[in-house]
Amino acid sequence: MFLGSVLLMSWAGCDVEPPTREELAEVDEAEGELAEGEAAEDAGGAEDQGVLPGLPDLTTGPRSSAANYFTPVGTHDTFNCSKIAGWVKDGDTTAPTWVTIDRYAPYPYGEHVATVLADLYRADLPFADKYHGFSINTPASLKTGEVETIYIHGINVDGDGNWDVNANSPLLSGTGKSFCCGTKCLKPDVQNP
């Protein structure tokens, strides 16, 4: 099953679909060999090239989803000792999307703090559907007594509201906010622009 786990983690941004559980089980049962009944030419001559059959070409860029036309928009409104809040909307759907929160630097260079569903009502949003807000209590891990900076990405979803791992998930407007909260801060609960 380890091989299957590695394969599933490497599919984002590839031009082929990941194998089904049944296909992975066939490979596991054959201990890495092609399952019975499959011809070598079905693997595209991969054995001759020294490449495991079924692995994607990782040199190609991500494919675009036909049902994903818009990138998320939103704002990182608040970051203080009490809460982290804002809103995000993906124009592909009225369904809520998610945000990811990282500290020190934007994803993938920062340290992941949280993933939050943005499904709270926000009367101030300029959309007919207003359930795109998010708010969480500031985690204790960010109350260090040192200045902490966080970055929030709006997660790109397809037309059905599913996370589209092949699409761009941009930073929200106003993100990169810093604050200091804890006993070592000169002025606790200070939010810096």
106 and 143, same domain (yes or no):
yes
Residue-by-residue pLDDT tens, the chain, 193 positions: 333 333 333 334 434 455 555 554 554 454 444 434 444 444 443 333 333 334 333 333 344 444 567 899 999 999 999 999 999 999 988 999 999 999 999 998 999 999 999 999 999 999 999 999 999 999 999 999 999 999 999 999 988 888 888 888 999 999 999 999 988 887 555 554 4
Q: Which domain holds residue 41?
A: 2-49
Give how far Cα 109 sits from Cα of 42, 56, 68, 97, 113, Å: 39, 25, 25, 22, 12
Same-domain pairing of 84 and 13:
no
112 in a domain, yes or no?
Answer: yes
Q: Judge if 43 and 78 occupy the same domain.
A: no
Domain membership of residue 54 (yes or no) is no
pTM: 0.62
Residues 115 and 176 in one domain: yes
**C-alpha–C-alpha distance, residues 92 and 164, integer Å:** 11
Q: Pick from 155, 73, 71, 139: which is nearest to 103 by CA?
A: 139
Number of domains in the chain: 2
